[in-house]
């Protein structure tokens, strides 16, 4: 039997494991070139690696070696020795691409440093990020404007990729006043108001996030239908909404904090209000699913967790809410609709 093959002639279990491990190296190479802005420097066409390194303030030989790895993954192509350009896939790394993933991958470069220390999470069940960076995740972002800008851009890119599926899956037009709790720059809420002209909205987030959101609301011509309110996620939430949104919020937090957020929503809404928990729900069984990998990310960064539908239902019940239905959007996200437990 040759090395690396099993008795049936296929790759051995060891080779499979080593292949999985090598995936980390490709991912890190991708994060590094995103953070360095290599794709933007190639917007005008292929360039010699020395010229590209000067434009991105990187080491020429090292950059060439990274690009060689990613050319093997069809992200870049070497049009002639030492000259690299973008493939069709690589164009999504440009920050100006209409469906760009640049910020998500560039922010992953920062995330990856915490995973280098993630044995701490495995030993303790606690977030590793504060150990790596000296402060909890959101506290660190408040103190680091550039990292905060990149994080918000990454969340906006993720939301843009999900919005069409959410609009197709749920009739938001039945709501008079939508409150997007932790709504970031307003991308989701503004898309909903554009798709459903009879609705109004409130974007709720931290003060420094809301300032940018107000500008976006005004630029969209929706200031008459949408307001931005600053506050604390664990304080009083804007009252009077008939539909509250929590998209990618609860997974940031352990159970006690998640219940506190849900109680805030319950207190803010009337008996006829609805809440949408929009998350990646962990399915039953052992098959791969994005929620299972994202679960490790939120653990290492925040001490949070992805959850199954029954786990979310238990949190809702503790907060005085009752799960009504779960809608699969087809995008990896699910919508769990809840209502006050004492609603008629």
List active site positions.
251
Per the CB < 8 A criterion, the answer to whether 82 and 93 are in contact is no
Tokens of 52: 């590209």
Which long-range contacts does 124-130 make (Cβ < 8 Å, 24+ apart)? 125/299, 125/303, 126/303, 127/299, 127/300, 127/301, 127/302, 127/303, 128/300, 128/301, 129/300, 129/301, 129/302
**Number of neighbours of residue 8 by Cβ within 10 angstroms:** 6
Give, as one character, the DSSP assignment of residue 239.
Answer: P
Q: Order of strands across the sheet with 177-181?
A: 226-230, 200-205, 177-181, 243-247, 274-279, 334-340, 321-328
Q: How far apart are CA 204 and CA 219, in angstroms?
A: 18
C-alpha–C-alpha distance, residues 290 and 91, integer Å? 23
**Closest of 319, 86, 223, 117 to residue 95, by C-alpha:** 86
Place of tokens 């994202």: 294
- Answer for the pair 261, 334: CB distance below 8 angstroms, yes or no: no
Nearest to 304 by CA among 147, 163, 136: 136
What residues contact 295, with CB distance under 8 A and at least 6 apart? 251, 282, 305, 306
CB contact set of 134 (below 8 Å; sequence gap of 6+)? 140
Residue 186 and residue 209 in contact, taking contact as beta carbons nearer than 8 Å:
no
């Amino acid at each position: 039997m040759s090395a690396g093959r099993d008795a049936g002639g296929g790759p051995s279990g060891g080779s499979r494991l080593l292949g999985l491990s090598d995936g980390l190296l490709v991912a890190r190479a991708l994060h590094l070139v995103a953070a360095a802005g290599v794709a933007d420097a190639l917007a005008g066409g292929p360039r010699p690696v020395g010229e590209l390194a000067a434009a991105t303030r990187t080491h020429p030989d090292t950059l060439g070696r990274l690009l060689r790895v990613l050319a093997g993954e069809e992200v870049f192509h070497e049009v002639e020795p030492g000259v690299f350009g973008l493939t069709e896939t690589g164009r999504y790394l440009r920050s100006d691409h209409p469906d760009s993933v640049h910020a998500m991958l560039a922010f992953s470069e920062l995330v990856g440093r915490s995973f280098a220390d993630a044995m701490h999470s495995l030993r303790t069940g606690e977030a590793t990020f504060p150990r790596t960076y000296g402060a909890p995740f959101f506290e660190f972002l408040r103190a680091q404007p550039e990292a905060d800008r990149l994080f918000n851009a990454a969340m906006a890119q993720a939301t843009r990729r999900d919005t069409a599926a959410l609009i197709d899956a749920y009739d938001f037009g039945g709501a008079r006043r939508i409150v997007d709790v932790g709504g970031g720059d307003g991308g989701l809420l503004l898309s909903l108001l554009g798709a459903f002209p009879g609705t109004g909205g409130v974007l709720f987030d931290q003060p420094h996030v809301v300032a940018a959101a107000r500008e976006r609301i005004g630029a969209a011509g929706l200031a008459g239908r949408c307001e931005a309110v600053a506050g604390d996620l664990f304080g009083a939430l804007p009252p009077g909404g008939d539909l509250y949104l929590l998209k990618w919020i609860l997974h940031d937090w352990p159970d006690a904090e998640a219940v506190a957020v849900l109680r805030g929503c319950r207190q803010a809404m009337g008996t006829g209000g609805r809440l949408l928990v929009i998350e990646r729900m962990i399915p039953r069984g052992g098959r791969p699913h994005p929620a299972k990998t994202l679960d490790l990310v939120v653990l290492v960064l925040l001490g949070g967790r992805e959850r199954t539908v029954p786990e979310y239902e238990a949190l809702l019940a503790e907060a005085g809410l009752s799960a009504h239905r779960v809608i699969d959007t087809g995008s990896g996200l699910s919508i769990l609709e809840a209502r006050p437990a004492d609603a008629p």
